[in-house]
Amino acid sequence: MRQIIGNIIQANKIFDMIKNHDKIAIGVSGGKDSIILLQAMQIYCQKQKQNFNWNIKIKGFCVDLGFKKNSLSTLVKWCKKHKLPLQVIKSNIAQVLKAKKRKGKVQCSLCTKMKKAILIRTIKKQGFNKLAFGHHAEDAIETLFMNILSQSRMAIFQPLTFLERKKIYLIRPMIMCREKQIITLSKKLQIPIAKGLCPNERITQRTYMKKFIEKNFYQNTNWPNAYTNLYRCLFNKKGCNLWIFNPKYNFDNLQEAIVSKKKI
């Protein structure tokens, strides 16, 4: 846990996500990342109170999608045993997803949108000003690859985002943590992983991309520094040298050129 806390402290120095008197809701999905975040944030806030007299409130919120045979009860008991504040929010998301299936599968993007909306509505009623997610470094890299390949965008989520319409901040305190740190710690703490919450478990685009990057880059001896270099790219402003940033080039007919390439 010491490494996780250290990474949260380092991330906050860079991205300035957490401030004194914040009320931070932790989005708990039922997976290892979000549960580790809830426990790590509790310890982090206690240390900030001891060292700097900061007063930060945290609480975990888990949206029950409504699918049958989920195992949220085990998660609730574990959190209660470790004195972690957790509220389960009942919803009818499962019914909506089943009614709006595409090609026989529920829509992950629709599920994400509805969960986020329910979370934000609930936490705002309770006075929270920030919503924290358990995304880590590998999540950021995977998102970059997914956006490049599916949307031709070199973009990732931000560690700190203000939703103007909702008047709330989204933060990702574990953005500088490695996934292997989280996996090791979750096994050590015997964290229960909730099952049956999502019918698309292990068959999403993100799952495929995770395996693809792991096999072709992280485990590839031809690229011994693959993770380090991929992660550094996210911070390397001087190393960004795409054509679009060169003022000498004329991109007036860019769309026409791209379409013509597709026809070749």
Percent of the chain with pLDDT over 70: 92
- 28 versus 258: the higher-pLDDT residue is 28
The predicted structure's pLDDT at residue 69: 66
- Whole-prediction pTM: 0.90
Residue 4 phi/psi, 5-degree rounding, is -60, -45
The predicted structure's pLDDT at residue 67: 79
Structure tokens that stand for 61 in this block: 């919120």
Distance (Å, whole) CA 149 – CA 117: 27
The predicted structure's pLDDT at residue 104: 77
Nearest to 157 by CA among 142, 167, 168: 142
The full set of domains in the chain, from first to last, is: 2-199 (3.40.50.620)
Classify 80 in phi/psi space as left (phi over 0), alpha (psi -120 to 50) or beta: alpha
Q: In this structure, what DSSP letter does residue 102 have?
A: B
3 state DSSP class of 164: coil
Residue 162 phi/psi, 5-degree rounding, is -105, 120
What is the residue whose two structure tokens read 């965008």?
Answer: 153
* Average pLDDT value over all residues in the chain: 90
The predicted structure's pLDDT at residue 264: 46
What is the residue whose two structure tokens read 């991205």?
Answer: 15
The per-residue pLDDT for range 101-150, each reduced to its tens digit, is 887 777 888 888 999 999 999 999 999 999 999 999 999 999 999 999 99
User: Among positive and negative, which fits the CA dihedral 163, 79, 75, 136?
Assistant: positive
The per-residue pLDDT for range 205-226, each reduced to its tens digit, is 888 999 999 999 999 999 999 9
Nearest to 225 by CA among 214, 217, 234, 213: 217
Mean pLDDT of 235-240: 86
